[in-house]
Amino acid sequence: MFPCEKNTMPKRSSRDDEEAPKQSRGEASATAAPDGGGSPLIRRLLSHLVAEDTPEGAHLTEQGLADALNVSRTPIRKALTDLHAEGIVAKVAHRGYFLARPARTLFAASLDFPSFDEDALFERVALDHLQGVLPRPFSERDVISRYGMSARMVRRVLNALCDEKVIFSDEDGKWRFNPFLLTNEASLASYEYRLATEPRILLLPTFRVKRDLIRACRDEHIRLLTLATPERTGRIAFRVDAAFHEAIATCGGNPFFHSGVAQHNRMRQILEYRDAPDEGRMLVWLKEHLDILEAVVANELQEASALMRTHLANAMRHRKQSLDLGRQR
């Protein structure tokens, strides 16, 4: 069970009512909030709550959440503060935090939070680079001043991206994105790598079906399908897509495969953001994902592996066709 106490939320005093905002940006069930930079830790936390079908009024403890997500209490405390500001959790004096609505009404991939962590900072840098907002090349000071982040975090993120070959440093100390990641060849190379690795994950002897994770992943796919077309933005779709592939890698039980998928998701993010979303194609891969998840839940891993290979091959073929059409114009 998810470590939260499923007791009834205590009665609130008028003072407690003053602490909570009147309305949340994510108030409507399964409705996308404004499309801004989100915190992956918050999305993980909400996905766990959804997976456990946590009821309204459940007591959320810092230590319990930290243990479940394998992080320290400090980032959990910050996440709960942000969720309280959004009206998703209620804060009761001397008691702590309580879930303010049933977890199944939340759509973690679309919720928007102002806080940044390292993944969210990279997302903003990548988007602003593609949109021409950041200087080319850009400096550490450019990132610090634009996003209001500490020099320590910015340096850590930039060095990590450099290690992963996403960006590189000029002789004058300024940063540029890897030009290969912006080429058509990169998108095809990405699919070749994924075809060589991801179907294999489902056949690893260490693969174990983590039903709560798979259920949460499936729920996010369903919620994405229920959004109105204008709300199914490329950023939200990528988050759902990336979470699916990382969920399969997590079930694989091999940290090298999982690390490879997570790193590759970060690298292909800039490719996905570069191209305008294709609504028809999005609906196709959502259904393919759901078919794979259904096979995984049924423990039909050979079939799931074959479906994953077909899914990636279809995506690669579609990409090649798009490139060919572009050359003919």
Report yes or no on whether pTM surpasses 0.85. Answer: no
Residue 50 in any domain: the answer is: yes
Same domain membership, residue 82 and residue 70: yes
pLDDT recorded at residue 292: 98
pLDDT over 70 at 267, yes or no: yes
Same domain membership, residue 323 and residue 190: yes
Across 225-234, 282-291, 314-323, least confident range: 225-234
Q: Is the dihedral of CA 236, 241, 243, 244 positive or negative?
A: positive
Residue 37, C-beta contacts closer than 8 angstroms, at least 6 positions apart: 112, 113, 114, 116, 120, 121, 123, 124
Share of the chain above pLDDT 90, in %: 36
Domain boundary among 126, 148, 177: 177
Same domain membership, residue 187 and residue 253: yes
Report pLDDT digits (tens) over 155-170.
Answer: 888 887 888 788 899 8
Residue 124 in any domain: the answer is: yes
pLDDT over 50 at 55, yes or no: yes
| CATH code assigned at 129 | 1.10.10
Higher pLDDT, 7 or 227: 227
Residue 169 in any domain: the answer is: yes
pLDDT over 50 at 15, yes or no: no
Across 20-34, 219-233, 252-266, 292-306, least confident range: 20-34
Residue 47 in any domain: the answer is: yes
pLDDT over 50 at 26, yes or no: no
Higher pLDDT, 232 or 200: 200
Same domain membership, residue 225 and residue 169: no
Asked whether 267 and 166 are in contact (CB, 8 A), the reply is yes
Ramachandran angles phi, psi of 178, nearest 5°: -55, 115
Residue 233 in any domain: the answer is: yes
Asked whether 60 and 97 are in contact (CB, 8 A), the reply is yes
Report pLDDT digits (tens) over 168-212.
Answer: 998 888 999 888 887 878 889 999 999 999 999 999 999 999 988
The C-alpha atoms of residue 84 and residue 11 are separated, in whole angstroms, by 17
Q: What is the CA radius of gyration of the chain?
A: 21
pLDDT over 90 at 134, yes or no: no
Residue 21 in any domain: the answer is: no
Ramachandran angles phi, psi of 30, nearest 5°: 55, 35
Q: SS3 sequence, the chain?
A: CCCEECCCCCCCCHHHHHHCCCCCCCCCCCCCCCCCCCCHHHHHHHHHHHHCCCCCCCEECHHHHHHHHCCCHHHHHHHHHHHHHCCCEEEECCCEEEECCCHHHCCHHHCCCCCCCHHHHHHHHHHHHHCCCCCCCECHHHHHHHHCCCHHHHHHHHHHHHHCCCEEECCCCCEEECHHHHCHHHHHHHHHHHHHHHHHHCCCCCCCCCHHHHHHHHHHHHHHHHCCHHHCCHHHHHHHHHHHHHHHHHHHCCHHHHHHHHHHHHHHHHHHHHCCCCHHHHHHHHHHHHHHHHHHHCCCHHHHHHHHHHHHHHHHHHHHHHHHHHHHC
Residue 20 in any domain: the answer is: no
Same domain membership, residue 135 and residue 71: no
Tally the C-alpha atoms within 13 A of residue 153's C-alpha that lie toward its C-beta: 14
pLDDT over 50 at 135, yes or no: yes
pLDDT recorded at residue 150: 79
pLDDT recorded at residue 113: 54
**Count of domains in the chain?**
3
Same domain membership, residue 310 and residue 198: yes
Same domain membership, residue 199 and residue 143: no
| CATH code assigned at 85 | 1.10.10.10
Same domain membership, residue 192 and residue 82: no
Same domain membership, residue 324 and residue 249: yes
The C-alpha atoms of residue 21 and residue 87 are separated, in whole angstroms, by 6
Tokens 């069970």 identify what position?
1
Average pLDDT score, the chain: 80
Report pLDDT digits (tens) over 279-310.
Answer: 888 999 999 999 999 999 999 999 999 999 99
| CATH code assigned at 286 | 1.20.120.530
Same domain membership, residue 232 and residue 275: yes
Domain boundary among 110, 143, 168: 110
Residue 60: how many other CB atoms lie within 10 Å: 23
Q: Confidence class of residue 89 from pLDDT cuts 50, 70 and 90?
A: very high
Which range has highest mean pLDDT (2-16, 18-32, 64-78)? 64-78
pLDDT recorded at residue 29: 33
Same domain membership, residue 294 and residue 186: yes
Same domain membership, residue 187 and residue 290: yes
Q: Which domain holds residue 152?
A: 118-177
Domain boundary among 177, 201, 222: 177
pLDDT recorded at residue 3: 40
Residue 218: both structure tokens together: 């499936």
